[in-house]
Amino acid sequence: MLYTDDSVGVCVRRATNEDEELEMNRNPLHWAARASLMILAAGAAVSLVGATGVSGEAAASDEAPADAFAHLPAKITLDGTARDFRAGHQTNPHPDFQRQPRNSSGNGAFGHYAGIVASRLGADGKPVYASGGYRVLSNAHDAAGREMLPMAGEVASRSGDVAAEMDNEGSAVTSAESLSQWFRDVPGVNASKAVSIELVREPGSDQYVFDDQLDERYRALGGFFPLNGELYGNYENGKNYHFTYEIATSFQYREGSGQVFRFTGDDDVWVYVDGHLVIDLGGVHGALDQTIDLDRLEWLNDGEVYSLNFFFAERHTTKSNFRIETTLQLKSLDMPLMAPLWD
């Protein structure tokens, strides 16, 4: 049994019989020293338990590992332009909105249509009409299973890539003229408004995400509907379905650092890096995704700054899904002045 002996300032063991008590009275410091060694040994055993993770309480007290990316901003705000269009039963509807695409046989066929736009941006930084689009029957993907640009273009191939299968040319848009109105202010055809989105850095990561299902405003709206109740007004179900959205950004390329940009959503989405098409999700379809690994763009030079232009269209009821994931440090570029509501 142990007790504290104030005369020697340590814990000592209490005698359990007369002989021990006599011996302890003759040499109290000796017995105090023995007791101290016993306490030290017990403390070491407790420390060993904590070090080996046997004790849950000891493990719980350990501090969480530091965030290696804490120096990066918590959020990135990207400024864009949304343009509203009328469709269907509305007055002066646009022919590309609330329209079902047609496949190569002339039959109505929703789906992913590649090749609607050219592989290079036009001189004014807008997509250029290339064809009616080729319905994608099976998506291209890399060795990791990530879906990628159906038509290789200038995206370098890698071992394990699987090519897409596509139908012959169909009709996912009405004409070159109708497409030219999507991302330009046209009196009597569309009206525009500035719309920003906020990408949030995931904890312990350099990845930034905007997701309509995570963003407080859009989650409450039931999807990415930035123009609800505005401009030409809602179409049905309390939602404004027919609009386009564009963002102009820049970033610094860091070779070998694993920079990627991924989009998941519907409908049409085109992404251009340095004016080159790198994501092609044209057509009227459910949520689809594609990823571009920046190291596949072999003309990029380490440390140089490049443009990334993003184009999106919501063309049909009943959903609007929108998710961006990227490790790029994107910065907004100046957008053109907004057009007022014409008519």
Is the pTM value of this prediction over 0.95?
no
Report pLDDT digits (tens) over 92-124. 999 999 999 999 999 999 999 999 999 999 999
Lowest mean per-residue pLDDT among 22-31, 128-137, 320-329: 22-31
Give the integer Cα–Cα distance in Å for 88 and 318.
13
pLDDT value of residue 66 = 87
Phi, psi of 302 (to 5 degrees): -55, 130
Short-list 319, 287, 97, CA closest to 218:
319
Mean pLDDT of the region 78-95: 95
* Residue 165 tokens, joined: 């299968």
Contact 273, 307 (CB under 8 A): yes
Q: Which residue has the tokens 């993003």?
A: 310
Task: Give all strands (DSSP E) within the chain, no chain letters.
Answer: 2-5, 10-13, 75-85, 111-114, 134-138, 165-169, 190-201, 208-211, 243-252, 260-265, 269-273, 276-280, 283-284, 288-293, 305-314, 322-326, 331-332
Q: With pLDDT > 90 as the criterion, what percentage of the chain qualifies?
A: 74
Helix residue ranges per DSSP H, 94-239: 176-180, 216-221
| Mean local confidence (pLDDT), 58-67 | 62
Q: What distance in Å separates the CA atoms of residue 320 and residue 212, rounded to the nearest whole number?
A: 9
CB distance 290 to 147 below 8 Å: yes
Give the pLDDT band (50/70/90) at residue 28.
Answer: very low
Model pLDDT, residue 335:
61
* Token pair for 313: 């269209």
Measured CA to CA, the distance from residue 123 to residue 307 in angstroms comes to 14
Q: Which residues pair with residue 83 across a beta bridge?
A: 192, 244
Q: How confident is the model at residue 319 (pLDDT cuts 50, 70, 90)?
A: very high
